[in-house]
Structure 1
């Protein structure tokens, strides 16, 4: 390969993996999805895991990383929490001074302060986990474009909502475990799991993690399944350095 062709290939490859690519006349500033134009964050008052009031305005002047989850979520939410813990660790002294992470529940019917506190403690999470009344949370969900639905469908009528049910064809009348599997006919050999509480509704939410700049504008969106912690960190630091 000639030197000129090799150089051209390197330049083209660099444009693919770095922010700043031109698209429709606009500059792509971040590794995540740019929110353009930026969306102002509306003020809110919610309750943290310790029972204290938290407002969005108290974080003005910091870059704020906002994530939405619920504690009963069995799959992506724990992954997002682990990713945020990585971010907090990598930020070091910047976490809490120049950058603030907050988590907001999408299931206030279950996630009170105590439940959120237990969720955070078990995972060693050091940032506010927020809840509140539905009427206080709904404007926040709308402001951050959280698609939220609750439903209680239960095709096999075993008391475990379909979203939680690993065995949707449990025989009628059979007692089930937390996974919705029959204790007599659908257990692995030698294993019986008790059902500690009814999982009688499911929450389905479509959202991501949003990075808010120091002026309280939503600037970057990362889909929950698209997370690259190192690149999320780069986007956060880019906003920290922004004047």
Structure 2
């Protein structure tokens, strides 16, 4: 958010910010809109409405996860009352462990820069973004 807020209109016109959910089973559009408002993350947040494993929406989201090297693991509650299927959570009784990398893509759709969870340096990320904006 800091980077988004620190850019001028001319720069923002050349950029698209996107958050991709790793928890579409809970992250419906209402939840993401509430999160967007509470965090002032005023950009697109990608989720799906149909979370059935073979649905076209879920297949597309799974491909996005693959394309962007999104890694996560569903950690379900293992108590006896949990009846969720193994391929996806069917209740809210689970956690998702995930990476929070940032992928920077150029204007031609090429993934150019990846910042991981622990090496994210805000001034250098902003510099990378501005360097790519200057190429447009």
TM range (shorter): 0.7 to 0.9
Structure having the larger proportion of residues in strand: 1
Q: Is the 8 A contact 1:145 1:207 kept in 2?
A: no
TM-score by length of 1: 0.46
TM-score by length of 2: 0.79
In structure 2, what is the equivalent of residue 15 of structure 1? none
Pairing 1:131–2:131 present? no
In structure 2, what is the equivalent of residue 110 of structure 1? 26
Q: Is the 8 A contact 1:147 1:206 kept in 2?
A: yes
Describe the shift of the 1:88–1:94 C-alpha distance in structure 2 as closer, same or farther (beyond 3 A). farther
Decide which of 65, 69, 75 is 1:141's aligned counterpart. Answer: 65
Decide which of 8, 11, 14 is 1:98's aligned counterpart. Answer: 14
Give the SS at the match of 2:35.
Answer: helix
Residue 148 of structure 1 deviates from its aligned partner by 2.1
Which structure's relative contact order is higher, taking Cα pairs within 8 Å and 6+ residues apart? 1
Give the SS at the match of 2:7.
Answer: helix
Aligned residues: 120
Q: Which runs of 5+ in 2 are unaligned?
A: 49-56, 82-90
Describe the shift of the 1:203–1:147 C-alpha distance in structure 2 as closer, same or farther (beyond 3 A). same
RMSD: 2.2
Larger Rg: 1
Q: Is the 8 A contact 2:26 2:92 kept in 1?
A: no
